[in-house]
Amino acid sequence: MGYTPMMQQYLKIKADYKDSFLFFRLGDFYEMFFEDAKKAAEELEITLTSRDGGKDDRIPMCGVPHHSAENYIKALIEKGYKVAICEQVEDPKTAKGVVKREVVQLITPGTIMEGNMLEDKENNYLAALYSINNQTFGFAYTDMSTGETSAMKMVNGWPSVLSEIYNRPIKEIVIEDKLDESFKNDLIDKMQLTLSYVNDQTQLPDQMIPLIEGVNDELLQHACKILFQYLYHTQKRSIDHLKKAQVIELEEYMTLDMYSKRNLEITHSMMRNEKYGSLLWVIDRTVTAMGARKLKKWLERPLLSRQHINRRLDMVTGFYDQFMERESIRESLRSIYDLERLSGRVSFGNVNARDLLQLKNSLSKIPSIKQLLNEFNHQVIKDLADKIDPLQDLKMLLEKSIAEDPPISITEGNILKDGYNEKLDQYRHVSRNGKDWIAALERQEKENTNIKSLKIGYNKVFGYYIEVTRANLHLVPNDRYERKQTLTNAERYITNELKEKEALILEADEKSVDLEYQLFLLIRDKVKAYIPALQKLADLISEIDVLQSFATVSEENNYIRPTFSEAHQVKLEESRHPVIEKVMKSESFVPNDILLDEDKFMLLITGPNMSGKSTYMRQLALTIVMAQVGCFVPAKTAELAVFDQIFTRIGAADDLVSGQSTFMVEMLEANHAIHHATSKSLILLDEIGRGTSTYDGMALAQAIMEYIHNNIGAKTLFSTHYHELTSLEENLNGLRNIHVRAEEINGEVVFLHQIHQGAADESYGIHVAQLAGLPQVLIDRANLILTQLETKSGESVSPEQKVVLTSQQEQMTLFVEESSDSSKQVKKEEDNIIAMINKWDILEMTPMDAMNKLYDLQKKVKGMKGRK
């Protein structure tokens, strides 16, 4: 036995939407079948039933009522699923055979438009990725709700893709099936994205070609095509609000890789992965949702052009200097609606009269904002005013058309104003007159019949009627009144006169509702023509919002405008950590100076736990990010350089949150920094080398510092608890020791969090213990053990094993002391080994390669030792 025709129809449609829940419309329900039903019943906690489908086994089934489907859809989307909505596309009454059904929309995490599924202050991105060699990637992402699309090329391999995606509100990514499996897994597991596929044969539909006009690079074009094709095939509705793809030249922005974004807590805190406790949390004083979204975008891409940075800073200064005017602007901005998302909904055809009313109200604020901007003294702000097109003709249109208190529905009338359309006015006149006439008739009939409780009513089934209570029935003039309906306590009648009027009124009402709907669609089309202008306005408004936010937060938190000097140096007086100073409640943050210049570009920071090393390092990075997005910074004075990249590495033991506490990860991260940093970069290495044994860790830490010092010259802050490393200052000219120490005040150990020049006291641990009041005998004993350990450690390494790590010396000596009877042969082998090591390209090796090479090396050395 085969499936019933309807099940065959279902299976045919489902075959095209394998990775989605298919919501199959059956009367008032959306039904799901087979695996879909089982999974949906589980995810949505609804009852799983079954139905006969023509075969012996019953088919698993579950369903949701169509009028409440939205919440179920939302729940599935939030879990990362896709939902295909399959509707009946012909009238069941007239259909021959099975009603025709089609998928009318595919709702996916990256393409939602529905207001209640979107976060106001967050973008919602759909991305696409394309690569031919798994090294260079074309990447594009779009926010359907706002219509913006960005495209960028990434040449630094997979980590750069992950960094780009990390912490960005990307929900779904379109890829080609041939993308490397491990990459796919990363996208699902690490980035928690929904994957969608397109095949690369498909052609971009004509109307979408203009969207990629400015994109010249082939790889990027391809990524954009994948993105737009997917939209075209899934959305099946107007997406005219999509703006041209903007190519983002990544070289124009500071690079913040994934680890830095996370460690510096730019937009999310590490502990709870939420906005609270992040830099964004501190500096977000925007008042519009558009502004909040833009601020986040700016923060994720600090600028590199000094000119652009200064332009933003000039505008912030302008807002900063005039408090009263700024407050007025803030007040006006508060009543501006989300114009970006409104534009998207206009294009989609799902705005109602209330949305347009809000648009009108927003537009009516624009002239005053323009005027307020003109009241600022700074020309850069007046320039902003000039750029604003207040779109007053659009406002006028909405003003005269849209009613002041329209209902949500656009099909039930009362959405347009009187006087907007003559025909509509006529219908309304008939209808209203009719209603007046009925009121008059009621009065008249009361008089004529002497029935005080007589009333005229209306219901949808019976139309107008005259109602007389049972007690008064004997007064009814039966010659004129015709019985229509009997209730328990009353009878309802109609008269010829009333019947005629009813027909007129109902016709007018019906026509007026129809006409209103038609007129509304026309108005919506007119608004549609304004979408580009509205998007431009939205862009300006959100920019003004972000700038005022910077000014507001700078004033409130006592920030200072940074300056940029020619020399690549940092001179911060009384610098503070913007977030920690905010979360600290009772006590206040201790400011410290930070100095880095061309001569001394590395700082080695020593000091006990909890003294403030990590804080000091991060506050420098955050200050630089703030400055390069155009915000003032937390310091008394700030002279900065423009940094091209920031790298942040945290020693494994400190990196509690990510769960990736392996030393390997730490080394991979360090490797990444070393590979990509330049002399214009900032590197923060916080307790690197901590995740392995002391000697390993120390050796690596030292080697990494030397490498950066000698080969990169990046500004570097390095914190360590290996006190031994402080002696590096003698060899590395560009390095300076600084430290934080614990102090005793009234017999108690306190951290003053003050940075001092020079290295920390060697035995600060024991010192702290002493301050903490541990018995003196214990302290003495600890000191004794320390000295013993120190001498012993010197001895425990046999001369043969002792590797001198200072690569400053041109000629590297592998063996410190040569055995007196070493033969020429051994010497030659030694030279060979040295030559071999010299040839290694450590940075290109996989860890496994390195292990193998070390193993070989050890074998050779063992052989040599045996012969000595």
Binding site for ligand ADP (CB under 6 A): 580, 589-590, 607, 609-615, 753
Residue 610 is labelled as binding a ligand: yes
CB closer to ligand ADP, 246 vs 609: 609
Q: Are 391 and 366 in contact (CB under 8 A)?
A: yes
Annotated ligand binding at 614? The verdict is yes
d(CA 540, CA 537) in angstroms, rounded, equals 5
Cβ nearer to ligand ADP, comparing 64 with 590: 590
Q: Is 823 helix (H, G, I), strand (E, B) or coil?
A: coil
Name the minimum Å distance from CB 586 to ligand ADP.
11
Instruction: Supply φ then ψ for residue 832, to 5 degrees.
Output: -60, -45
Among 515, 512, 506, which Cα is nearest to 438's? 506
Question: Nearer to Mg ion by C-beta: 24 or 764?
Answer: 764
123 or 614, CB closer to Mg ion?
Answer: 614
DSSP state of 539: H
Indicate the pairing of strand 570-575 with strand 637-640: antiparallel
Residue 734 interface partner, choices ligand ADP, Mg ion, none, CB cut-off 5-8 Å depending on type: none
- Minimum CB distance to ligand ADP smaller for 261 or for 753: 753
For residue 231, which amino acid is it?
A: L
d(CA 247, CA 129): 14
Cβ closest to ligand ADP, residue 431 vs residue 615: 615
- What is the distance, to the nearest Å, from the Cα of residue 261 to the centroid of all Cα atoms in its chain? 12
Provide, rounded to whole angstroms, the least separation between the CB of residue 621 and ligand ADP. Answer: 13
Residue 589 binds which entry of ligand ADP, Mg ion, none, with Cβ cut-offs from 5 to 8 Å by kind? Answer: ligand ADP
Q: Minimum distance between the CB of residue 655 and Mg ion, rounded to whole angstroms?
A: 11
Give ∠ CA 668-673-675 in degrees, rounded to 5.
Answer: 90
d(CA 255, CA 644): 6
CB of 561 to ligand ADP, least distance (A): 22
Tell me the H-state helices in 722-775.
728-731, 764-771
- For residue 214, give the DSSP letter: T
Which one of Mg ion, ligand ADP, none is in contact with 609 (Cβ closer than 5 to 8 A by kind)? ligand ADP
Tokens describing residue 570: 């940092």
Q: Could you say which residues in the range 434-463 bind Mg ion, by CB under 5 A?
A: none
Nearest to 109 by CA among 150, 65, 75: 75
Two tokens, residue 584: 């600290």
753's contact among ligand ADP, Mg ion, none, with CB below 5 to 8 A by partner kind, is ligand ADP
* 615, interface contact from Mg ion, ligand ADP, none, CB < 5-8 Å by kind: ligand ADP
Residue 406's binding partner among ligand ADP, Mg ion, none (Cβ under 5 to 8 angstroms by kind) is none
Q: 137-143 and 148-154 as β-strands: parallel, antiparallel, unpaired? A: antiparallel
Nearest residue by C-beta to Mg ion? 614
Q: Which amino acid is at 219?
A: L
Q: 542 - beta bridge partners?
A: none
Instruction: Tell me if 406 is assigned to a ligand binding site.
Output: no
Report yes or no: 528 and 347 within 8 Å, Cβ to Cβ. yes
Q: For Cα atoms 405, 407, 410, give the angle at the middle one, nearest 5 degrees.
A: 125
Q: Rounded to 5 degrees, what are φ and ψ at 144?
A: -60, -35
Binding letters toward Mg ion, positions 566-605, x by CB under 5 A: ----------------------------------------
Convert residues 602-641 into a mask of x (bound to Mg ion by CB under 5 A) and - (unbound): ------------x---------------------------
CB of 654 to Mg ion, least distance (A): 6
The footprint of Mg ion on this chain (CB under 5 A) covers a number of residues equal to 1
Give the pair of three-digit tokens for residue 777: 């005998």
277 is in an annotated binding site: no
Tell me whether residue 746 is exposed, middle or buried, using C-beta atoms within 10 angstroms of its C-beta: 0 to 12, 13 to 18, 19 or more.
exposed
Was 367 annotated as part of a binding site?
no
State yes or no: 613 annotated in a binding site: yes
Report, in angstroms and rounded to the nearest whole number, the Rg of the chain calculated over CA atoms: 37
Q: Pick one of Mg ion, ligand ADP, none as the site partner of residue 524 (Cβ within 5 to 8 A by kind).
A: none
- Asked whether 3 and 54 are in contact (CB, 8 A), the reply is yes
Measured CA to CA, the distance from residue 617 to residue 302 in angstroms comes to: 19
144 vs 579 by CB, closer to ligand ADP: 579
- Is 866 annotated among the ligand-binding residues? no
CB neighbours of 207 closer than 8 A, spacing ≥ 6? none
Residue with Cβ nearer ligand ADP (160 or 615): 615
- Residue 687 C-beta: closest distance to ligand ADP, Å: 8
Residue 611 known to bind ligand: yes
How far apart are CB 612 and ligand ADP at their closest, in Å? 3
The DSSP bridge partners found for residue 140 are: 128, 151
d(CA 844, CA 822): 35
Least spacing, CB of residue 273 vs ligand ADP, in Å? 18
Residue from 384, 391, 386 nearest 543 by CA: 384
| Residues 448, 477 contacting (CB under 8 angstroms) | yes
Spatial distance between the Cα atoms of 452 and 472, rounded to a whole number of angstroms = 9
Site string for Mg ion, 184-223 (x = CB under 5 A): ----------------------------------------
Window 17-46: contact mask with Mg ion (x via CB under 5 A): ------------------------------
H helix count then E strand count, the chain: 27, 27
Q: Kindly tell me which of 501 and 618 has the beta carbon lying closer to ligand ADP.
A: 618
- Nearer CB in complex with ligand ADP: 562/651: 651
Task: Answer for the pair 171, 194: CB distance below 8 angstroms, yes or no.
Answer: yes
What does the buried/exposed string (b/e) look like for 385-420 if buried means 16 or more CB atoms within 10 Å of the residue's CB?
Answer: beebebbeebbebbeebbbeebeeebeebebbbeeb
Nearest distance, CB of residue 613 and Mg ion, angstroms:
5
- Name the residue whose CB lies closest to ligand ADP: 612
Q: Which does 580 bind (CB under 5 to 8 A by kind): ligand ADP, Mg ion, none?
A: ligand ADP
Q: How far is the CB of 603 from ligand ADP (least distance, A)?
A: 14
Closest to Mg ion by CB, 277 or 630: 277
How far apart CA 535 and CA 545 sit, in angstroms, is: 15
The Cα 417–Cα 420 span in angstroms is: 6
CB of 751 to ligand ADP, least distance (A): 6
Would you say 380 or 771 has its CB closer to ligand ADP?
Answer: 771
Q: Name the minimum Å distance from CB 574 to ligand ADP.
A: 10
Shortest distance, CB of residue 635 to ligand ADP, whole angstroms?
Answer: 12
- Asked if 702 is part of the footprint of Mg ion (rule: CB under 5 A), the reply reads no
Cβ proximity to Mg ion: between 653 and 842 the closer is 653
- Tokens, residue 714: 């990046």
Q: How far is the CB of 610 from ligand ADP (least distance, A)?
A: 4
Q: Residue 86 belongs to what H/E stretch?
A: strand 83-88
Residue number, 554 or 611, with CB nearest to ligand ADP: 611
N-to-C CA span, the chain: 87
d(CA 112, CA 77): 9
Length of the chain: 868
Can you say which residues are annotated as belonging to the binding site? Answer: 607-614
Task: State the residues that interact with Mg ion by CB under 5 A.
Answer: 614
Can you say which residues are annotated as belonging to the binding site for ATP? Answer: 607-614
